[in-house]
């Protein structure tokens, strides 16, 4: 699967990494698995790593359907959710902006796009020098 989702409970964080192409069906499946996870819920911070993204499925209508499901899972529960999209390529930035712009102010999701790993970690208040270090030091549960 080109998407991996890990919950790092001790950091109140969901780490999502795309590798290769972002496909609608894989994204929907990953969201469905995340929604069923006992640690999933509103208020978790999200780091969406798009630095290894090479292409995007162009079925934008289906992506909008997924966005609506994400709102049900992660937003509108009276708890703010902070989401950082990390992207450093044109295709990654396109995907990040699609994701960021899919959240309405009423959703309770605050989303930003950053182009640098250091900025992503600082924005989330994570005490690590790199994502690799974070994954090495934390007990991440794959979804």
pLDDT tens, position by position, 41-64? 778 999 999 999 999 988 878 777
Q: pLDDT band for 71, please (50, 70, 90 cuts).
A: low
Number of domains composing the chain: 1
Is the model's pTM score more than 0.85?
Answer: yes
Q: Of 35-44, 78-87, 125-134, which one has max mean pLDDT?
A: 125-134
Quick check: 17 pLDDT over 90?
Answer: yes
Q: E strands of the chain, at which residues?
A: 3-8, 13-22, 45-56, 81-86, 109-114, 141-142
Percent residues over pLDDT 70 in the chain: 91
Average pLDDT value for residue range 90-118: 91
Higher pLDDT, 98 or 90: 90
Quick check: 142 pLDDT over 80?
Answer: no
Q: Each residue of 119-132: pLDDT tens digit?
A: 999 999 999 999 99
* DSSP, res 7: E
Domain ranges, residue 59? 3-142
In whole angstroms, give the CA distance from residue 133 to residue 126: 11
Average pLDDT value for residue range 5-18: 95
Q: pLDDT band for 75, please (50, 70, 90 cuts).
A: low
CATH code for the domain in which residue 86 is found: 3.30.750.24
């Amino acid at each position: 699967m080109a998407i991996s989702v890990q919950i790092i409970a001790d950091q109140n964080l969901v780490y999502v990494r795309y590798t290769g192409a972002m496909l609608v069906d894989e994204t929907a499946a990953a969201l469905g698995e995340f929604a069923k996870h006992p640690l999933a819920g509103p208020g978790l911070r999200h780091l969406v790593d798009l630095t290894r993204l090479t292409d995007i499925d162009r079925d934008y209508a289906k992506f909008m359907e997924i966005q609506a499901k994400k709102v049900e899972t992660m937003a509108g529960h009276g708890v703010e959710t902070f989401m950082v999209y990390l992207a450093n390529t044109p295709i990654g930035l396109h995907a990040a902006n699609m994701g960021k712009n899919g959240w309405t102010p009423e959703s309770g999701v605050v989303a930003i796009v950053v182009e640098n790993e250091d900025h992503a970690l600082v924005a989330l208040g994570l005490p690590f020098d790199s994502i690799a270090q974070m994954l090495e030091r934390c007990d991440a549960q794959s979804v």
